[in-house]
Amino acid sequence: MRHHALWLFLPAIALGAAEDSLADLVFLHDRLELHPRVGLGARYDSNVDAVQEDPEDELAAIGLVGCELSFAWSEVTTLTADGEARMVVTDRSEQRWRNQGAFNLGARRITPDGSLGARVAYGRSDEPDEQTGERLLVDTWNASLTGDYTGRVHRLSAGVLFDRSDYQDASREFGEDDRDTNTYSVTAGYGLRLESGDELSLRTIADLRQYDHASANNPDSTGTHALIGWNRQVSETVGLSIEAGVEYRRYESTDTAAAEDVLSPTWLVNGSTITANESTWSLTLSGGVEDSIGGNPALGSRANLGWKRPLSPTWSVQAYAEGFNLRDLESVSGQPKDETWTIRGVLGASHVLRPGLAADIDGGYEYSDSDLQGNYSRMVVQVGMTARF
């Protein structure tokens, strides 16, 4: 199944624009830190509906207020909270006001042998949808409990997660409630440090996916992943990891479709480095077979490249590029095969005017071409300023 994913164009109004703040708000013998923030920004999207012909552009003004809190419960336990409200006002009469925001609560306990963390979060955003490209308003909820233990040779990890997506807008291909879904998952992992310094890892994931309105195109399903990985610290600044495995998924029967079992391969390659001048880059290659009961099984492949470099104590630049290919492997029930290519790129700069006060600008371009759906292109430009107290 193909699901909503976060957009690559990072918001120009960032959460906490700088490490420092305009004021040192520390209380309770330095155990409690409180950092309110405010921000203003603007965004231009040249093709808000991601269509080939007669694209509609959008100009939006964005305002935000937020607050971040951190409390040191003990030497090893920290409690955190962060809330933000955003008002997005556009020049389109049918979508004039779009209230957005986010809130999360977290707790983290870190000891020399491992860590234990819990988090609950809610967010509402209008990031473009990965399936259709349209800018859609989506509510997301998630909760997690994760932990890990690290010994001299062995590393153990486990986690329980819950995610919910609730679409507030209908798209060209889906009604606003068609993809509302809850996902529950359990993860367990094991790592073995080898004499060479490399680490061999094993990971299993079991999940349950339930739609509010299950159908032949979006049936409920259960899945199990089994993955084996290898991690190497090539040097003090360069790391490399590889993971490959297989997913078994059982799609439940519906009024118009029988139950079906699907076995799909998956893989992930990740590399990253940081240099003496604090420049960083990361490269991720990933892919796998994406099956849909109501559509053709497809091979998805993705490449992500990120780069960031400080030019001075107050200036930094960053770039991000992504390429995505989705190619149908076979035709199911007479449906024609399709292939989609999507490329995206972002170039941005940040300037710290003074501690806690920063300005950002990001410009991005996207082009997508489908054998069946045609092609579209878009440009997104965002500017913003955030003050963190």
Q: Is residue 66 part of a domain?
A: yes
- Expressed as residue numbers, the domain containing 193 is 26-388
- Note whether residue 300 is domain-resident: yes
Dihedrals phi, psi of 95, to nearest 5 degrees: -140, 50
Q: Given pLDDT bands bounded at 50, 70 and 90, which one contains residue 36? A: very high
Pairwise pLDDT comparison (80 vs 254), residue with the higher score: 80
Residue with tokens 């971040």: 68
Residue 51 included in any domain: yes
Mean pLDDT confidence for 95-119: 95
Identify whether 14 is part of a domain: no
CA 358 centroid distance within chain = 24
Rounded Cα gap, residues 387 and 20, in angstroms: 10
| CB-based burial, 5-16: b 16+ in 10 Å, e otherwise | eebbbbbbbbeb
Q: From CA 58, how far away is CA 78, in angstroms rounded?
A: 41
Contacts of residue 195, defined as CB under 8 A and 6 or more positions apart, other chains included, come to none
Q: Tell me, what CATH number does 297's domain have?
A: 2.40.160
In a domain, 69, yes or no: yes
Please spell the DSSP secondary structure of 152-207, one letter per residue: SSEEEEEEEEEEEEEE-S--SSS-TTTT-EEEEEEEEEEEEE-TTS-EEEEEEEEE
Q: Tell me if 4 is assigned to some domain.
A: no
Task: Let me know if residue 319 belongs to a domain.
Answer: yes
> Over the stretch 41-56, which tens digit does the pLDDT of each residue have?
999 999 999 999 999 9
The reported pLDDT for the residue numbered 289 is 80
Residue 10 has pLDDT above 70, yes or no: no
Confidence (pTM): 0.85
In a domain, 2, yes or no: no
Residue 25 clears pLDDT 50, i.e. is over it: yes
Q: How many domains does the chain have?
A: 1
